[in-house]
Amino acid sequence: MSATAPGVGGSEASAGKEPRTARGRRTLRLILDAAAEEFGAKGFHEGSISGITRRAGVALGSFYTYFDSKDDVFRALVRDMSDQVREHVAPAIKGATGGQIAAEQAALLAFIRFARAHKEIYRIIDEAEFVDPESFRLHYASTAERIAKRLQAAAARGEVREDVNEVHAWAIMGMNVFLGLRYSVWQEDVDPEAIADIVAQMLARGIGTGG
């Protein structure tokens, strides 16, 4: 990940250790990016704090300035990666024209592109199920909630079926997650636009008003 990636405020640090200066926020960003590389390459159990600080190019003391433990930085990383996905996809949704089906198409396209650049997100989020189940649950629950709100707002505008609900939101999220796994992590053998177009056609027939 780039050290200029979005998602860093001060909430990712351990409680009471939030950075208060721009320099501190930059250091925290370096640590989180290095943690993504370390855990993405080695997994949580084989990854180490010393490996994170080496990758970040910071002193060991700098790590403990912001985090109490390896568990804490992993937990923060899951939140940070979830934030990065949201912040990467949101502009695509906002900029889409042609109704909610087009917005969901743009969201999937943006996600696939993000996952291709950050393949480690799958290993880290999957490990969170066992390392930090609450962060794992929150990642998916909050994502599905955002989709559900988008669909409900679109239903009110007459852009999708009136009966869209949480089940539709989880189905869309699950589809996106596994498409990202297949076409971003395992192989990049299909054009992202083609994938998003196929899904948009499915959604138009499934939840579109003309379906």
Reduced 3-state DSSP string for the chain: CCCCCCCCCCCCCCCCCCCCCHHHHHHHHHHHHHHHHHHHHHHHHHCCHHHHHHHHCCCHHHHHHHCCCHHHHHHHHHHHHHHHHHHHHHHHHHHCCCCHHHHHHHHHHHHHHHHHHCCHHHHHHHHHHHHCHHHHHHHHHHHHHHHHHHHHHHHHHCCECCCCCHHHHHHHHHHHHHHHHHHHHHCCCCCHHHHHHHHHHHHHHHCECCC
Q: Which domains does the chain have, with CATH numbers?
A: 77-206 (1.10.357.10)
Residue 8: predicted pLDDT: 41
pLDDT in tens, 74-117: 999 999 999 999 999 999 999 999 999 999 999 999 999 999 99
Residue 9: predicted pLDDT: 42
- Provide the b/e sequence for 45-73 (b: ≥16 CB within 10 Å): eebebebbbebbebeeebbebbbeebebb
Pairwise CA distance, residues 79 & 187, whole Å:
26
Amino acid at 45: H
Pairwise CA distance, residues 5 & 81, whole Å:
10
Residue 7: predicted pLDDT: 42
Pairwise CA distance, residues 52 & 38, whole Å:
6
Residue 3: predicted pLDDT: 36
> Digits of tens for pLDDT over the chain (211 positions)?
333 333 444 457 888 788 989 999 999 999 999 999 999 999 999 999 999 999 999 999 999 999 999 999 999 999 999 999 999 999 999 999 999 999 999 999 999 999 999 999 999 999 999 999 999 999 999 999 999 999 999 999 999 999 999 999 999 999 999 999 999 999 999 999 999 999 999 999 999 997 5
Pairwise CA distance, residues 36 & 82, whole Å:
12
How far CA 200 is from CA of 104, 107, 175, in Å, comes to 7, 11, 12
